[in-house]
Structure 1
Amino acid sequence: MQNKRGISQTFGAVPRGRVVRPATVFDVFDMSAILIRSITQLCGADHKGDPDQIAAWTANKTPDGLRQWFAGDHVLWVAEWDGQICGVAAASPKGEVSVLYVDPPATGRGVGSALLQQVEGHLREAGFAEAYLKSTYTAQAFYLRLGWQRAGDELRMIKSL
C-alpha cells in the first residue's frame, strides 16, 4: 500500500494472544506502570501495605530508573497480550532472573510462565547450568510449581537449566 506521497507502507496486524519480545527504551512508561501496579496490588504478603516499604521497593521502577536498566548489562523482555504490555522480565549477566512481574489483570494467563521460560532459555544459551533469583513471598508457589527450589534463605531459589 502507498500513502498519498507514493511511499510504500506496510501495517501489520497486532498479534493476538500472548507475545514475549525484547523490551525497548520506548516501553519504559508501560513497564514502570506494570511494575508499580504489580508490587502494590499483588505483593501485599511482602510489603504488608506499608507505604515506606512500597516506596523503597518502587523507587527505581520509574521511567527514568528503567532507562538506567537499558544502559546497564541486563537483558529485558516484555510480554504483550493483544498488543498491550502486561509483563516485564530481566536477566543479569550473572545468571540471575533479576525481574519478573505481571500486571494484575494478566495473572493466571501464562504470562509469568512465558516470561520465565524466555529468561531461562536466554541464560541457558549464555552457558549457565543453573539460574537463581530472589523471590517474593507472593511468588514462591509460582516458582516452585515451575521447577525452582529453595536455596539457602527462604527467598533465594535456584534451578538447573
Structure 2
Amino acid sequence: MQNKRGISQTFGGVPQGQRVRTATVFDVFDMSRVLIRSITELCEADHQGDPDQIAAWTANKSPEGIRQWLSGAHDLWVAELQGQICGVGAASPDGVVSVLYVDPSAVGRGVGTALLMQAEQHLREAGHHKATLDSTATARDFYLRLGWSEDCTPQVGFAKAKYPLSKVL
C-alpha cells in the first residue's frame, strides 16, 4: 500500500480468510455481540469491571442501536475472519474514526489494523487530510504504534478517560 506521497506502508498484509466490508442491517446482531464482548472483556483498564460503567458504555450497542447507526451519516464496516464477524469500525463525515472494536477471539490477528486502514483510506478518499479519534486507555498504544499522535491531555468521559488522537492522512 502507498500513501499519497508514494511512500510504501507495510502492515503485514491481510491475513488469509480475512476481509473488511461495508456493514449491513443483516450484521447488527453480530456487530452488537462483538462490541459488547470487546468492551466487557478487553476494556477492563477503562471500566475496571464496574457494571454501571459497562452498562452505560454498551447501552447503544444493541442491535436496535446499531440499526440507528446504519441509518445515520457514519460509514460502518465489519471485519470477518473465516466468514465470522470479528470487528466493527466506523467513520463520520467530519473525519472522525468513531468506532473500532475487535472481538477478544480475534485480538492480535490484524483485524483492528485492517479496520483502521479501511477508515483512514475512506477518510482520505472523502478529502480529509487529517483524521481524529478519542481512544480508550486499552487501545491507546495500538493507535500510537500505527502513526497516530496525542492531541492533548486525556479527558474524563461518562465511563472512561478519552485520549484525543489525530493522524495526518
1:62-115 CA deviation, whole Å, 9 max, x = no partner?
A: 000000001110000000000000000000011000000000010000000000
Match of 1:96 in 2: 96
**What code does the residue aligned with 2:76 have?**
L
- 1:17 to partner: Cα distance: 1.2
Pairs aligned (count): 146
Structure 1 runs (4+) deviating above 6 angstroms are none
Q: Distance in 2 between matches of 1:119 and 1:58?
A: 22
Q: CA RMSD in A?
A: 0.6
Give the corresponding residue for 2:54. 54
Q: CA deviation at 1:153?
A: 2.6
Gaps of 5+ in 1: 1-15
Aligned to 2:69: 69
Q: Does 1:106 align with 2:106?
A: yes
**Amino acid corresponding to residue 168 of structure 2 in structure 1:** S
Q: Secondary structure at the match of 1:153?
A: coil
Q: Residue 166 of structure 2 corresponds to which residue in structure 1?
A: 158
Q: Match of 2:39, as an amino acid?
A: I
Q: 1:127 is paired with a residue of what secondary structure?
A: coil
- Where 2:53 maps in the other structure, the secondary structure is helix
What percent identity do the matched residue pairs reach?
A: 68
- In the alignment, the residues of structure 1 paired with residue 141 and residue 152 of structure 2 have an alpha-carbon distance, to the nearest angstrom, of 16
Within 2, Cα distance between the matches of 1:142 and 1:100? Answer: 11
Question: Which residue type is aligned with residue 61 of structure 2?
Answer: K
The whole-number CA distance in structure 1 between the counterparts of 2:92 and 2:152 is 20
- For 1:151 and 1:49, the matched residues in 2 are separated by 28
Larger Rg: 1
Secondary structure of residue in 2 paired with 1:60: coil
Amino acid at match of 2:109: R
Output the TM-score relative to the length of structure 2: 0.85
